[in-house]
Chain A
Amino acid sequence: MSKVKLTIDGLPVEIEEGATILRAADELDIYIPTLCYHPDQNVKANCRICVVEVVGMKLLVPACSYPATEGMAVLTHSQRVRTARRNILELILARHAQDCLHCDRSGFCELQKVSEEMHFLRTPRYPYVARSDYWDDSSPSIVRNSQKCVACGRCEYVCSNIQTVHALSKVGRGFEVNFEPAYGKKLGDSVCINCGQCIQACPTAALTIYDYTLRVWRAFADPQKTVVAQVAPAVRITLAEALGEAPGTISTGRLVTALKRVGFDVVFDTDFTADLTIMEEGTELLGRINNGGVLPMITSCSPGWIKFCETYYPDLIPNLSTCKSPQAMFGALIKTFYAKQIRKVPSDIFSVSIMPCTAKKFEAQRPEMGRNGYRDVDVVISVQEIARMIRSAGINFSNLPETPFDSPFGLGSGAGEIFGATGGVMEAALRTVYEIVTGKELDSLDFESVRGFEGIKEASVMVGDIKVKVAVAHGLGNARKLMDAIRAKEADYHFIEIMACPGGCIGGGGNPIKNWRKMGPRLEAVYREDKNMPLRKSHENPYVKKLYEDFLGEPNSHKCHELLHTRYVDRSYLLR
């Protein structure tokens, strides 16, 4: 590809033809403020905060969309640019409630950063007028506050183009433009699947995680309650990042210490029930293959994906594994087996799960996830929320000693750990199914073909004399392609793993704000953690074996079905 030479602020730079001025400036490490620009999305160029001056041109141009051309001389902070940018910022602020002091995004808000980097100190000249009074906390996962919206359109892009959920749309025009569900519906009643990718895309606090931390603090203060935490595989990968460390910093030991100091009585590892999920799901898969059950079987760990399937593909519900997600399995075990073990009534146990996910908040509230009038999981809090709790408890996370998880559910295998990344459930299942069926040990535990960030991954593995064909999709746009193929009977897979969020749980909506650049180190950390685990196969987890012996019987037993399996509902009425 041919290259073009240009200068930015007098500095020469060479870049491939067609690249934007913003890209060229990035090469030179020159910061140009942006708001509607997102590195993972198409260019929108609607906020105009990135305007720059091209010498000889009459008008300023947006750096995020204007291509760099040969011989161009760009000025990024000339007087004209600075004046224009300030005015643009003032116009944006005229539509953005400025209550930063008690805002959920304070400290990692892109608008705040832009304002700070521009050294904007004066009081905006234009009075603040709310865009709309649309305030929506109807969803258990996502809060929508139009007063913080800068109308960049990043949420709609991710919802429609990447997730293909089409919950949010750009409504109205001009000053009144707003992003909301169709026909005045609230998010909680809409086709929204609670994945929280819009939260990850939002530059401000127009979309935030529903905060449940107050309920956890209240439980700590209640002497009656034993507060039990379970920690999802991806949390140990992203928590340190949420507290200011580099992406991909693994913090398992420090995390347990921090949780204990914050006030949790017991801290369990969701890796354990991930192993349990593999035992149940693997057994279910073998049963379906041997007894002519519905194939392909599709994983059910991702609650966003489940609601998506219930809404858009209700005819494929029989393909879903009946296994609960690891969080829900753990919830059921804590309120039954564990409650009995510590001689407590279930209502005296406050079960908190710490998840990288916003859809888990919805899952925990599903009527199927509880019994005899109590919830299996009382509260789900995301990585962002637990990071806030740790900080507000005055804990310096970087200096903490390491503590192991509590028994009896403290031991998980590497197979459970890789649930956090796309392809992980598949790989964990293959490790177990292969060894159970053939009775032989795998030469290599690393199934490279299901790893990585490719949208749809395929592999086939000889398990005994069956050639098991598998597929892995992450991001619901990719899942939709697979589902359409299954509907058209064009897919002959046995087993499919689907994760709602791009990248799997490490890209979940409850994590610190991400882009694909941060995802690489997170993914690498997941497999590093897997490699370091003493156990790497679910069926070798001694505590899982013991749980089956003492309590559950055998995989897919009656008791397992009662506690660890679930059913799904047709939600296509949301489209009617």
Chain B
Amino acid sequence: MKTEFTAQTEITPQLEKKIVAIAERYHKEPHQLMRILLDIQKVTSNAIPREVAIVVSRVTGIPEAKLYGFVSFYAMISPAPRGKYVIRMCESAPCHVTGAVAVMESIIKTLGIQPGETSRDGRFTLEYCQCLGVCESSPAILVNDMIYKNLTPGRAATLIEDYMRGDVS
């Protein structure tokens, strides 16, 4: 697995407080590690980088290496910092058949970044993902928690531009 670890995430006291508060849920519900890490991602750089993992490790007692194994396994969690908006294009067959390739090309053109990259302003990360479960309205993309269906290249570009302008939050 190739991950660049050059970017540092600064842990301010406020951020640390937020992370600790979420991580402490682990003591009550240790089976919910996934949920906890996803929630922590929302207050950090959309990722669980090393600096964050160390705080989580300290609170939960889970060794850093174990957390890294967990984080690197699941596609929804990233060990490297990501943009404020993570755009995920479904790459499963139904979306592919209904025109995902053209939609993706349009998104790439609009954002100016390739899949796996983060825009230079740190706002957008583009990724592929597996089936989103809305095959009846494919092609579909996921932007953070929001799903957008029945896309065409033109609609996708408009949507991304809305995000870029900050019309959607």
Q: Is A575 an interface residue (CB 8 A)?
A: yes
Interface residues of B in 48-84 (CB under 8 A from A): 49-50, 53-54, 57, 63-69, 72-73, 79
In the assembled complex, how far is the CB of residue A487 from the closest CB belonging to chain B, in whole angstroms? 14
A182 touching B64 in the complex, CB below 8 Å, given contacts A171-B72, A576-B54: yes
Residues of chain B lying within 8 A (CB to CB) of residue A166: 63-66
Do residues B64 and A183 form an inter-chain contact, with CB atoms below 8 A?
yes
Which of B4-18 touch A at CB < 8 Å? 5
- Is B3 an interface residue when CB atoms closer than 8 A count as contact? yes
Query: Would you call A112 an interface residue if the criterion is a C-beta within 8 Å of the partner chain's C-beta atoms?
Result: no
Who on chain B is nearest to A177 by CB?
A: B1
What is the chain B residue whose CB lies nearest that of A574?
B64
| A156-200, CB < 8 A from B | 160, 166-173, 176-178, 181-184, 191
In Å, the complex CA distance between A427 and B84 comes to 62
A575 close to B64 (CB less than 8 A)? yes
B57 to chain A, nearest CB (A): 8
A138 within 8 A of B: no
Complex interface: chain B residues within 8 A of A183 (CB): 5, 49-50, 53, 64, 68, 79
CB pair A172 B1 closer than 8 Å: yes
Q: A132-B1, A178-B1, A182-B64 are in contact. Are A170 and B79 (CB under 8 A)?
A: no
Q: How far is the CB of A142 from chain B (nearest CB, A)?
A: 15
A181 touches B65 (CB 8 A): yes
CB distance from A318 to the nearest CB of B (A): 23
Query: In the complex, what distance in Å separates the CA atom of A294 from the CA atom of B37?
Result: 42
Contact B73 A182 (CB under 8 A): no
Q: Which residue of A lies closest to B57 (CB)?
A: A575
Closest to A190 in B: B65
What A residues does B53 contact at CB under 8 A?
Answer: 182-183
Mark A453-465 against chain B: 1 for CB-CB distance below 8 A, else 0. Answer: 0000000000000
**Distance A160 CA – B54 CA, assembled complex (angstroms):** 17
> Chain B residues with Cβ under 8 A from A191's Cβ?
64-65
Please report the C-alpha to C-alpha distance between residue A170 and residue B70 in the assembled complex, in whole angstroms.
8
Chain A residues in 8 Å Cβ range of B1: 132, 171-172, 176-178
In the assembled complex, the CB of B79 is this many whole angstroms from the nearest CB of chain A, namely 6
Task: Give the nearest-CB partner of B67 in chain A.
Answer: A182
Asked whether B69 lies within 8 Å of A169 as measured between CB atoms, the reply is yes
Residues of A within 8 A of B72 (CB): 171-173
Instruction: Quote the shortest CB–CB distance from A513 to chain B (angstroms).
Output: 24
Size of interface on B: residues with Cβ below 8 Å to A: 18
Query: What's the Cα separation between A160 and B72 when bound, in Å?
Result: 17
Q: A576: which B residues are within 8 A, CB to CB?
A: 54
Q: Mark out the residues of chain A between 200 and 223 whose CB falls within 8 Å of any chain B CB in the assembled complex.
A: none
**In the complex the two chains form, what is the Cα distance from A193 to B53 in whole Å?**
21
Find the residue from B49, B53, B63 having the highest chain A CB count within 10 A: B63
Q: Mark A94-135, 1 if CB is under 8 A from B, else 0.
A: 000000000000000000000000000000000000001000
Smallest beta-carbon distance A196→chain B, Å: 18
Most buried by A among B1, B57, B66: B1
Smallest Cβ distance from B74 to chain A, in angstroms?
8
Does A169 lie within 8 Å of B66, measured CB to CB? yes
A169 pairs with B68, CB closer than 8 A: yes
Residues of A close to B5: CB separation below 8 A:
183-184
A182 close to B3 (CB less than 8 A):
no
User: Are the C-beta atoms of B65 and A172 separated by less than 8 Å?
Assistant: no
Q: Which residues of B contact A160 (CB under 8 A)?
A: 63, 65-66
Known: A171-B72, A172-B72, A575-B54. A184 touches B3 (CB 8 A): yes
Distance of B128 from chain A, by nearest CB (Å): 14
- How many angstroms between the C-alpha atoms of A182 and B72 in the bound complex? 10
Q: What is the CB-to-nearest-CB distance from A279 to chain B, in angstroms, rounded to a whole number?
A: 39
CB distance from B153 to the nearest CB of A (A): 31
Smallest CB separation, B46 vs chain A (Å)? 17
A167 and B54: CB pair below 8 A?
Answer: no
- A167 to B5 Cα, complex, angstroms: 18
Task: Give the chain B neighbours of A171 by CB distance below 8 A.
Answer: 1, 68-69, 72
Q: How far is the CA of A222 from the CA of B44 in the complex (A)?
A: 58
B64 touching A170, Cβ below 8 Å: no
Smallest CB–CB gap between A55 and chain B, Å?
37
Interface residues of A in 539-576 (CB under 8 A from B): 575-576
Residues of A within 8 A of B66 (CB): 160, 166, 169
Most central of A167, A178, A183, A575 by chain B CB within 10 Å: A183
Residues of A within 8 A of B50 (CB): 182-183
Q: Which residues of B contact A178 (CB under 8 A)?
A: 1
Q: Which residues of B contact A170 (CB under 8 A)?
A: 69, 73
**A66 to B5 alpha-carbon distance, docked (Å):** 41
How many whole Å from B68's CB to the nearest CB in chain A?
Answer: 4
Nearest residue (CB) in A for B49 is A183
List B contacts of A132 (CB < 8 A).
1
B54 — which chain A residues lie within 8 A by C-beta? 575-576
Give the residue among A160, A177, A182 with the most B Cβ atoms within 10 A: A182
- 29 CB-based A-B contacts, threshold 8 Å: A132-B1, A160-B65, A160-B66, A166-B63, A166-B64, A166-B65, A167-B65, A168-B65, A169-B65, A170-B73, A171-B1, A171-B72, A172-B1, A172-B73, A173-B73, A177-B1, A181-B65, A182-B50, A182-B53, A182-B65, A182-B67, A183-B5, A183-B68, A184-B3, A184-B5, A191-B65, A575-B57, A575-B64, A576-B54
In the complex, given contacts A171-B72, A183-B79, A184-B5, what are 11 additional A-B residue pairs having Cβ atoms less than 8 angstroms apart?
A: A160-B65, A160-B66, A166-B66, A167-B65, A169-B63, A169-B65, A169-B68, A170-B73, A173-B72, A183-B50, A184-B3
Closest 8 interchain pairs by CB? A172-B1, A166-B63, A169-B65, A182-B68, A169-B69, A183-B50, A182-B65, A184-B5
